[in-house]
Amino acid sequence: MKLSILTLATAALVTCAAPAIAQETMRQNPFLQDYTTVYQIPPFEQITYADYLPALYAAIAEHDAEIAQICSQTEAPTFENTILALENSGSTLDKVVHVFMALEESNSSPEMVAIAEELYPAYSQHSDAVSMNDALFARIKGVYDTMDAAGLDPVQRRLVEKYYKQAVRNGALLNPEQKKELTEVNSLLSSLYLTFNKNLLNATNAFAAVVDDPARLSGLPESIVATAAEQAAARGLGEGHWVFTLHAPCRLPVLQYADDRDLRCEIYVGYTTQAQSGEFNNLPVISDILVARARKAAILGFESFGAYQTDCVMAKTVQSARDLLMQIWEPAKARVAEEVAEMQALADRRGDNITIEPWDYYYYSEKVRAEKFDLDENEVRAYFPLPSVVKGLFTMAERLYNVKFTEITDAPHYFDEVTVYDVTDATTGEHISVFMTDYYSRPSKRQGAWMSEFKGSWVNADGTAERPIIFNVCNYAHPTGDTPALLSLDDVETTFHEFGHALHGMLTRARYKSLAGTNVDRDFVELPSQIDEHWAMEPELLKEYAHHYITGEVIPDELIARLAAAANHGQGFATTELCGASLLDLAFGELNPTEAVDVTAFEQQVSEQLGMPAQLTYRYRPAYFKHVFGSDQYASGYYTYLWAEVLDSDGFELFKEKGVFDPETAASYLHNILEPGDSEDPMTLFVRFRGHKPAVDALLRNRGLAD
């Protein structure tokens, strides 16, 4: 997943109720000074909790002054004095918000949560006032209306159109009463998202499945048992106790390997019912979000929030997104029936005397895979220690794009487990980007994996380039004893996925910050991430990075062959839970409630309409569907993973045809997909790279759901 801060599309004159700040304090605030660190990396070690809010209010005041200067000009609006001036404004605000949002997600604390309760509403209020400033919008519209006469080049036109459309979507054409109402709704949504995320983190951390009988550990990998013992010790439980949590590095191995069916059931039910009741109940929060979103859509003239969200992306409508998903849903659901039949037959042969339930799916799917393909996940994990996988990422990038990664050992970093790299041109040594990795799970980090930035990329007026600072965050189990973090195949895929987002951010050469890197349509942004997943299991690359963590042995050919044979095992389950969640998200987006919504009843209604198989559920149920209810970034947009997979499956078939490291194909992909960012229409860029528009057939072939 690509994570970005709220876009400041336009700017406004606004008076903020900022606390009085002593001049001495302001001078010492790290955010309010030029960074003197290497490559302008934020000086994390100098930043304290007390710095955020004073810096935010000072940055907002600075931004106000910049916008005031734009609006007070007597000259007619031009690209340079309005659009480019706006593009270059708010640099201090970007610094504050980039750092706070990154740390609040990846290294939170009670202090950060308390700051967030003031920072996010203040930032939202400023963003709204910025978006709805009549004087500023008049100047933006003046440039928009005279683009032809001004002779702007295509990239300049693209930037003007982006600012104009964002301003309109953010309420620039509303009357004063409507603007006031929209500001109230946005402020409410900002607060609700904060509550949702806080509830989810607390609910996840509150759960613990305690085991005090070693017999119940049967089937579990030693590393998982060791981690569970460490968790028990950390909670003050004595020897002979093990604690299992809902965090993915613990949850998934239990579901996959635990012979104790009751333990699997406890973990599954705990996960799928988290944040649905009690102190951290997210269902009322979701209801309020749905009502507020419907109100927002109506104010802006859209028939639903889903219509509002899809209007500005490749899909254009909810229906076109749903049409794509339904082409995938039915074949995937049919495959689930086949998979369940295989698992039930195996359980019967074993004499297990059970009927396959949702908490059995991972477990028996793994047993079927082992039987059909002679694959043991523990055997496979041994070839994928995290350091080796990182080597695979860097090797892939160097062979495709001629870039080199060198660790900067003394660089600032926001947590002691973060590693910082200097990314350079392997031939010339030119600095391209800073890249940070934060791979291990901790209670202060939200679940999932993502990419974002501490600094964007752009070209200055004098032709010099400002290069980005990009980071990846994941949630893998820590090394235990002498054993490094060993990744599952899903973990490896996730690592390559997020690195694909990072490459999109690092290798961009777009002229303007708002068009650079991952600032593209939401249903295009997953193309660079998902296409990278294909290289993870390519034999040519596996030979370079997949080495046994004890012996150093290169992964053998016969194991690679077995992995290839099993590549599409379980795709019925994987595709159905993902596609189902996407369809559920679209259904929520089409609601227009004016009063409380029974979220659980609506979820059940959608399940019945789809014919959701009884043996699984959505990848994310509403109460922990952070993509959709933790912000509006992926609301009515979770489908984009499958939409982009149509693109990446078709695109990678060209690499397979020409050679997975073919220099000409890699150069075309770099120049047509990674470098331009949003400088051109995404479909135009894809067709220029691939030679034709994408079709869903490639996705079905890639997932083994069609010949």
List own/partner pairs for 484-487 with CB under 8 A and 24 or more apart. Answer: 484/385, 484/386, 484/387, 484/549, 485/385, 485/386, 485/439, 485/440, 486/223, 486/381, 486/382, 486/384, 486/385, 486/386, 486/549, 487/381, 487/384, 487/385, 487/386, 487/389
In angstroms, what CA-CA distances link 172 with 9, 17, 44, 167, 179? 11, 23, 37, 5, 8
Contact between 630 and 306 under an 8 Å Cβ cutoff? The reply is no
User: Are 59 and 96 within 8 A, CB to CB?
Assistant: yes
4 neighbors 633 (Cβ within 8 angstroms): yes
What is the token pair recorded at 110?
Answer: 């009670």
3-state secondary structure of 172: coil
Q: Which of 373, 330, 325 is nearest to 705 (CA)?
A: 330
Span between the terminal Cα atoms of the chain, in Å? 29
Six token digits for residue 556 = 């053998």
Convert 477-510 to b/e letters by CB count within 10 Å (16 or more is b).
Answer: bbbbeebbbbbbbebbbbbbbbbbbbbbbbbbbb
Cα distance between residue 128 and residue 152, in whole Å? 28
Catalytic residue of the set 87, 266, 377, 498 = 498
Comparing CA positions, the residue from 453, 534, 451, 525 lying closest to residue 492 is 534
d(CA 315, CA 105): 29
Neighbours of 373 (CB within 10 A): 16
Can you tell me the distance from the alpha carbon of 264 to that of 252, in angstroms, rounded to the nearest whole number? Answer: 10
For residue 80, indicate whether it is catalytic.
no
Q: Please list, in sequence order, all residues whose beta carbon lies within 8 angstroms of the beta carbon of residue 176, skipping any fewer than 6 positions away.
A: none
Position 150, amino acid? A
d(C-alpha 186, C-alpha 163), whole Å: 19
Dihedral in degrees, nearest 10, Cα atoms 524, 530, 532, 538: -140
Q: How many CB atoms lie within 10 A of CB 614?
A: 13
Q: Which amino acid is at 251?
A: R
Q: Is 588 exposed, middle or buried (0-12, 13-18, 19+ CB in 10 A)?
A: buried
CA atoms within 13 A on the CB side of 302: 26
Q: Quick one: which H or E segment has residue 339? A: helix 318-350
Cα–Cα dist 423/435, whole Å: 7
- Are residues 625 and 580 in contact, defined by beta-carbon separation less than 8 angstroms? no
Q: Catalytic residue positions?
A: 498
